[in-house]
Chains A and B, each alone.
Chain A
Amino acid sequence: MRLLEKDKTIESEPDFVEHISEISGEDVRQCYQCGKCLAGCPMVEEMDLTPSQVMRAVQAGLKDLVLDSHTIWCCAGCETCAARCPKGIDLCHVMKALTSEAFAEGRTQSAPDIAAFHRSFLDTVSVLGRNYELGMMGLLKLRTRNLLQDVALGMKLFARGKLNLIPEYIKGNAEVRRMIRQVLDQPRPDRTGVSPVTTTHEDAGETPAPPGHGAGEAR
């Protein structure tokens, strides 16, 4: 959990709650801070803000605090909070609206490896129309420079005939590629001081992940 610094002024954007409510399709203003979402959240130990703090911060328009939080990327999308929210808010939709905003603004520095995972997944689907594990994991390893993780697991899967060397692709892959490239290739402002042109800096691990988290860990 992150504590705010005393005497530090945080900018508030009054329109933020409306914007996020619109993208997510959930009325964030309805949250009355009962905390049921954080009580059942399986990933809360990984988070800096709790799910209910994220909701409150969105209501207060604290855009920078929320979009730069680790929490939005650590949501596993399990929908436990959505099933239990007494106001019927699907917090996973809100978290996804927030990550998509953070991604569109090029601010993935709080969890560069998780953003790299999602990009690598979609890059693979954009070429083939389907996911292809070997291709995706290869891209992810290049982006995170974490070459050793899960190599043994990959070999076990391969030995059991579960990793194909030749990927499947679909006839309609041009249509799928157009949908995905529109998202991945949207212009994003540079926030890390590294040229956006030739590198995938915003998710390539230029900023280290919080200590104890997976980016640098080898299995």
Chain B
Amino acid sequence: MTLAYFPGCSAASTGKELAESTEALMEALDFALVEIPDWNCCGATSAGVLSPRLNVELNARNLRQAAQLGADMMLVPCAACYNRLKTTQLELKEKPALAKELEVPAAALQMRIVNLPELLVEHLDEIKARVKVDLSHLRPGAYYGCLLLRPPKAVQFDDAEQPTSMERILEVIGLDPAQWNMRTECCGASLSSTRPRAVEKRVSKIVDSAREGEANCLVAACPLCVLNLESRQTGADCLPSFYLSELVGAAIGLEPTKLGTQRHLLSSTLVGEKQH
């Protein structure tokens, strides 16, 4: 199956291991990723904060670029890019005059935009058939954060308050995911640069909650979540964070270096070693 692929800016920087593991995993699962030609930054938080209209314009251009590929589905591994593209698509569907003004073709409005857990949860059998590495020393706490789930009206993925997709995927690769409380709480997002103390407080609440659920690592699907979980954890005994794509990739036998796992700030041990 061919998917239009929107890597997002973090794929070249802080989220490099998300991109590397996503690309390796998709190849192993027989999906063909075709990068959207000349895509631009989705504007993340900043565009909408300074101008809601700018946010729509930036992503209307991305939708126009994506339409050139003629694919039915677009994969967006970064939660922020996914959210901006999907909310813009909905806004343009609701406002045909705006879609016309910004020259976004109908094909771009009909294209299904998915995040990685959303895609994987629809292919559990294919994943299960390929599992060959035992990762059962890991007890991950699935951390969804915000932008994969909310606002539910636009995103329409899983349940905004009690999601289960990531847990279902983790069970299929032979893990026993932790049951815990703060799976959908915000990490503080882009305020990490300007209000680091506030983000430290958020991250410590999230990590404490995961520990209470007896998690020995966190698994997430958003590059900003992982950066904040890794860089704003305080204290000596930190809980490592991984991307879902790394865990699934490792379980089906892909080399951790191919998944970019050595790039983590906290822990690069994924296979074969007991976590604390």
Q: Which of A82, A88, A119 contacts B150 (CB 8 A)?
A: A82
Q: Which of B46, B147, B152 contacts A117 (CB 8 A)?
A: B46
Evaluate whether A76 and B190 lie within 8 angstroms (CB atoms) in the complex, with A83-B161, A96-B52, A99-B50 already known: yes
B125 touches A (CB below 8 Å): no
Q: CB within 8 Å of A: which of B182-231? A: 184-186, 188-191, 193-198, 201-202, 231
Binds A, one of B9-17, B67-75, B104-112, B113-121: B9-17
Binds B, one of A10-18, A31-39, A42-50, A192-200: A42-50
Q: Which of B10, B160, B194 contacts A114 (CB 8 A)?
A: B194
Interface contact B189-A77, CB-CB below 8 Å: yes
Interface contact A80-B46, CB-CB below 8 Å: no
CA distance A170 to B12 in the complex (A): 13
Interface contact B50-A119, CB-CB below 8 Å: yes
Q: How distant is B245 from chain A, measured CB to nearest CB, in Å? A: 16
Contact bitstring B37-56, A, C-beta under 8 A = 1, else 0 = 01111011111111111100
Kindly report which residue of chain B lies nearest to residue A178, judged by CB atoms: B57
Contact bitstring A128-146, B, C-beta under 8 A = 1, else 0 = 0111110001001000000
Q: How distant is B225 from chain A, measured CB to nearest CB, in Å? A: 11
Q: CB within 8 Å of B: which of A22-79? A: 23-25, 42-43, 45-46, 73-74, 76-79
CB neighbours of A42 from chain B (8 A): 185-186, 188, 202
Interface contact A121-B189, CB-CB below 8 Å: no
Evaluate whether A23 and B52 lie within 8 angstroms (CB atoms) in the complex, with A78-B146, A176-B58 already known: yes
A150 touches B (CB below 8 Å): yes
Q: For chains A and B in complex, what number of residue pairs have CB atoms within 8 angstroms?
A: 181
Kindly report which residue of chain A lies nearest to residue B55, judged by CB atoms: A96
Q: How distant is A177 from chain B, measured CB to nearest CB, in Å? A: 10
Interface contact B46-A183, CB-CB below 8 Å: no
A87 touches B (CB below 8 Å): no
Evaluate whether A45 and B198 lie within 8 angstroms (CB atoms) in the complex, with A117-B193, A179-B58 already known: yes
Interface contact A183-B51, CB-CB below 8 Å: yes
Interface contact A117-B263, CB-CB below 8 Å: no
B32 touches A (CB below 8 Å): no
CB neighbours of B54 from chain A (8 A): 122, 179-180, 182-183
Interface contact A214-B147, CB-CB below 8 Å: no
CB neighbours of A99 from chain B (8 A): 49-50
CA distance A180 to B57 in the complex (A): 9
Q: Which of A79, A90, A130 contacts B41 (CB 8 A)?
A: A130
Interface contact A217-B191, CB-CB below 8 Å: no
CA distance A163 to B241 in the complex (A): 19
CA distance A111 to B198 in the complex (A): 14
Interface contact B265-A156, CB-CB below 8 Å: yes
CB neighbours of A80 from chain B (8 A): 146, 150, 184-186
Interface contact A168-B194, CB-CB below 8 Å: no
CB neighbours of A172 from chain B (8 A): 38, 40, 61, 65
A4 touches B (CB below 8 Å): no
Kindly report which residue of chain A lies nearest to residue B231, judged by CB atoms: A153
CB neighbours of B198 from chain A (8 A): 43, 45-46, 214
Interface contact A140-B16, CB-CB below 8 Å: no
B96 touches A (CB below 8 Å): no
Q: How distant is B165 from chain A, measured CB to nearest CB, in Å? A: 16
Evaluate whether A129 and B40 lie within 8 angstroms (CB atoms) in the complex, with A43-B198, A99-B50, A176-B61 already known: yes
Interface contact B189-A100, CB-CB below 8 Å: no
CA distance A217 to B151 in the complex (A): 33
Q: CB within 8 Å of B: which of A84-124? A: 88, 90, 92-93, 96-97, 99-100, 103, 111, 113-114, 117-119, 121-122
CB neighbours of B263 from chain A (8 A): 160-162
Interface contact A83-B194, CB-CB below 8 Å: no
Contact bitstring B53-89, A, C-beta under 8 A = 1, else 0 = 1100110010001000000000000000000000000
CB neighbours of A97 from chain B (8 A): 52
Kindly report which residue of chain A lies nearest to residue B91, judged by CB atoms: A25
Interface CB pairs A-B, < 8 A, 9: A43-B198, A80-B150, A83-B150, A100-B49, A114-B195, A121-B44, A162-B16, A170-B40, A213-B195
- Listed from nearest, the 10 A-B pairs whose CB atoms lie closest are A78-B186, A79-B150, A118-B46, A121-B46, A131-B9, A78-B146, A42-B186, A183-B51, A82-B151, A160-B263
Can you name 12 extra interface pairs (CB under 8 A) apart from A45-B198, A114-B195, A131-B44?
A: A23-B52, A74-B195, A78-B189, A79-B147, A80-B146, A80-B184, A99-B49, A125-B47, A156-B231, A157-B14, A160-B265, A180-B47
